[in-house]
Amino acid sequence: MKVVIAEKPSVARDIAEVLNITTKRKGYIEGRGCAVTWAFGHLVTLQEPGAYDPALKRWSLDTLPFVPDEFQLTLIKNHGVAEQFQVIKTLLEQAEEIVCATDAGREGELIFRYILALCNCEDKPIRRLWLNSLTPDAIQTAFKDLKDGHDYDALYAAARCRSESDWIVGLNATRYYTVRHGQIGGSDRVLWSIGRVQTPVLAMIVERDDTILQFRPQPFWELATRYREVVFKYSGQRFEQPEKAQNLLEKITGQPFVITTSAGKKSKEQPPQLFDLTTLQREINKQHGLSAADTLAATQNLYEAKLVTYPRTDSRYLSRDMKPRVPKILEQLKAIRAEQIALLNLAKLPFTTRIIDDKKVTDHHAVIPTGVRPRAIGANEQLVYDAITTQFIAAFYPVCLKNVTTVDGVSAKVKFQAKGTQIVEPGWTVLFPKKKMSQDAADDQALPAFAKGETGPHEPFLREGKTKPPGHFTENSLLGAMEAAGKFVEDDTLREALKERGIGTPATRAAIIETLLRRNYIQREKKQLRTTDMGRCLIALIMDPLLKSPEMTGEWEEKLKQIERSQLAPDTFMAGIDDYIRTLIQNSSARRLDPGRWGSCPLCGKEVIKGNRAYGCSGWQEGCPFVLEPECKGLTLTARQVQALLQLHILPHPVRIDDEPRLLILSTQGQPMDLRLPSANGQKKVEKVERP
């Protein structure tokens, strides 16, 4: 008997229908010498520490770090899991061949292999069904092209390394920081949840929020002039001192304005590339405010409804073998987009390298519609389907042609410049009437014809402004930063190059954000994602910079991809994780107070000295303003507590209160938070301090 294991019941039903397998049993469908069964996503997970040694059930620093010699598996404790697993196990024990039909990716492979291992059926023949969509044609084609299951051993190795490394880092770091610093906030011990991926993401949000919190706007002045109703900007830098700007303004006031050059050039704006999951999530969040998790759920529903291709992809390209299918899909889409597709010549579609590139398609190609006509779908699904379909059609539209005119002028030897953009052929942009095109708003002005050497009166003026802080993260900008390992990159080409080192994967980034929200480390404020007191406090407690480093996490993800390609041995990666967690625990545990010094200034790094009423930086004569006053709201920090603050860096870099720098955690709600600091001997006894 052949046994097919799908990831979900709905997918199993689709496969059974295509294979004409119709007899329904409890937990599977059978017929024609085949049984199709299913998981509920993850059925099997890694064992808890107590399963290895009962003593590990108690959280203690003495048992850390703990890394199993060999990981053990167990069933997830959810309703119905044990019963369905028993069905699968019975079928696999009878099977002559097993077909893996879980999602075609890293996590899908892990789900299947873990089930196989817990059933002790790893020695049985296995085949791999690799699906890009769930249409009947795609399922039939894939079954005709079943792969040897062991062709995907490297993919499983990467998935296992991801699972085990997350367990090692998450469990050990969570236990360490919870035991060591769990008495922060109220009387109950706080569970500080730390993860290999989630903690660097949280650190990015905290850093951004603190940057905004400490930002002090600086005034600036811009010189401009109006000539023939066109605004010309001063060609030099904007001014930080009003006197310099005023001097130039006075210099050109009453003087004629002369046009020195006027030149135009044609510009092309290429059609948008197809969506991968991350760019789809970013676009939907930007345009409609939908969360990354909701966008993924909607896209998954569309995939299971056979309306779009596999969603968890990191590619924005199609493979060459997709070329014959594209015109057929567009032909089918005429039923709902006739007017838009009528402008395309389906016999001569422009298959550029921005669309077709085998080298940039790994496990799956870009997310595109299948051509199946949608019936009744939910509101979120409709938003996502429309975006995917419009992007797919737009990719084959002509470029947008523009005329960009640059006009230079001068008055009293002071140079000015104006720019204007005129759309000649809108091309693909007609499909996005509500979407702002990528050009500077200052370039939108219509320019009349200017002649070199013409002159006339003008109206110079100064514009005063203030510098602005960076914006708070939205899910759109955070997903972009995660994709580029913490770097903020808008250029498509550069972002593509950084994908190998991204934080997490397209399949996991939404879940990471939701985990931080669920644990109250961040919160949503309209479209923004902001840290909470709990999130800021956790990042402050973590002394190891690598544990909250996007770059380090990106390096780990790059190595996992190397394992997928058989370019790195799994044991080498896991040995590095083992060394890392042992070093982290050892170095963190070794930090003790030095009674002979107060600590380092968090502003400049110099030694802190004690004055008559406060603690301050020894570099005060050189302008360092750091001061830490021990008295606050009738409470006084002890000398030991000051040393803990300044030597162990329990709290983050300082912020300003009433324009004075303080080493404190600010409440985003403006409310005080109880903070318990370790006593001098590092034992569990703590003293309570309230901060403003």
Q: What is the pLDDT of residues 361-418, one digit of tens each?
A: 978 999 999 999 999 999 999 999 999 999 999 999 999 999 999 999 999 999 999 9
Lowest-confidence range among 107-111, 220-224, 424-428, 618-622?
618-622
199-251 residue pLDDT tens: 999 999 999 998 898 888 999 999 999 999 999 999 999 999 999 999 999 99
Q: Is residue 374 part of a domain?
A: yes
How many residues belong to the chain? 692
Higher pLDDT, 492 or 513: 513
Q: Is 310 a catalytic residue?
A: yes
Whether residue 599 lies inside any domain: the answer is no
Decide if pLDDT at 692 tops 80: no
Assign residue 545 the CATH number of its domain: 1.10.460.10
The band of 509, judged by pLDDT with boundaries at 50, 70 and 90, is very high
Is 499 within a domain?
yes
Total number of domains constituting the chain: 5
Residue 74 and residue 126 in one domain: yes
Tokens of 520: 């109250």
Averaged pLDDT, 524-547 = 88
Residue 112 shares a structural domain with residue 225: no
Using CA atoms in the order 562, 566, 568, 573, what is the torsion angle rounded to 10 degrees?
80
Cβ–Cβ under 8 Å, residues 544 and 196? no
Phi, psi of 126 (to 5 degrees): -125, 145
Beta-sheet pairing, 219-227 with 459-466: antiparallel
Identify whether residues 264 and 405 lie together within a single domain.
Answer: yes
User: Residue 484's pLDDT band (boundaries 50, 70, 90)?
Assistant: confident
Name, in order, each residue with C-beta under 8 angstroms of 664's C-beta and a sequence gap of 6 or more.
651, 654, 655, 657, 691, 692
Whole-prediction pTM value?
0.84
Examine the domain organization and report whether 481 and 424 are in the same domain.
no
Same structural domain for residues 8 and 139? yes
Does residue 249 belong to any structural domain of this protein?
A: yes
pLDDT band at 47 (very low <50, low <70, confident <90, very high): very high
Residue 129's CATH number: 3.40.50.140
Q: In terms of domains, do 92 and 119 share one?
A: yes
Answer with the residue of higher pLDDT: 412 or 438.
412
**pLDDT tens digits along 86-99:** 999 999 999 999 99
Residue type for position 70: E
Which pLDDT belongs to residue 648? 58
Residue 52 in any domain: the answer is yes
pLDDT tier, 685 (very low <50, low <70, confident <90, very high otherwise): very low
- Asked if residue 186 has pLDDT above 70, the reply is no
More confident residue, 431 or 546: 431
- pLDDT of amino acid 19: 95
According to the model, what pLDDT value does residue 366 have? 96
Domain boundary among 102, 119, 145: 145
> Tokens representing 259?
């046009």
Q: What is the mean predicted confidence (pLDDT) over 345-356?
A: 95
Residue 649's pLDDT band (cuts 50, 70, 90): low
Cα 309 to its chain centre, rounded Å, is 22
| CATH code assigned at 408 | 2.70.20.10
Considering the domain architecture, whether residues 406 and 263 belong to the same structural domain is answered as yes
Is 138 in the same domain as 29?
Answer: yes
What value does the mean pLDDT take over residues 651-676? Answer: 35
Does 318 share its domain with 288? Answer: yes
Identify the weakest region by mean pLDDT among 2-6, 214-218, 484-488: 484-488
Of 223-227, 278-282, 601-605, 641-645, the range with the lowest mean pLDDT is 641-645
Question: Do residue 105 and residue 252 come from a single domain?
Answer: no
Per-residue b or e along 622-641, where b marks 16 or more CB atoms closer than 10 Å to that residue's CB: eebebbbeeeeeeeebeebb
Q: In the listed set 394, 413, 435, which residue is the last one of a domain according to the structure? A: 394
pLDDT reading at 59 higher than 50: yes
Q: Which pLDDT band holds residue 571 (cuts at 50, 70, 90)?
A: very high
Q: Which helix (H) or strand (E) holds 211?
A: helix 198-214
Query: What is the CATH number for 338?
Result: 1.10.290.10
Six token digits for residue 640: 């030991």
Inside any domain, residue 153: no
| Residue (of 629, 630, 640) closest to 687 by Cα position | 640
pLDDT confidence of 442, banded at 50, 70, 90?
A: low
Neighbours of 498 (CB within 10 A): 16
Pick from 121-135, 441-455, 633-647: least confident: 633-647
Which band of pLDDT confidence, cut at 50, 70 and 90, is reported for residue 587? confident
Q: Are residues 30 and 62 in the same domain?
A: yes
DSSP letters spanning 474-526: BHHHHHHHHHTTT-----HHHHHHHGGG-SS-TTTHHHHHHHHHHTTSEEEET
Count of Cβ atoms closer than 10 Å to residue 512 Cβ: 24
Q: Do residues 6 and 138 share a domain?
A: yes
Structure tokens that stand for 501 in this block: 């080192």
Mean pLDDT in the chain? 87
Q: Which domain holds residue 381?
A: 277-394
CB 449 within 8 A of CB 423: no
- Centre a 10 Å sphere on the Cβ of residue 352 and count the other Cβ atoms it contains: 13
Show which of 394, 418, 449 is a domain's final residue: 394
Dihedral sign of CA atoms 588, 203, 300, 127 in order: negative
Return the number of other C-beta atoms located less than 10 Å from residue 539's C-beta. 23
In a domain, 151, yes or no: no
Query: Which one of the listed residues 176, 227, 310, 580 is annotated catalytic?
Result: 310
| Region of poorest pLDDT, from 21-30, 173-182, 279-288 | 173-182
Q: How confident is the model at residue 591 (pLDDT cuts 50, 70, 90)?
A: low
Evaluate whether residue 597 is within a structural domain: no
Mean pLDDT of 423-448: 77
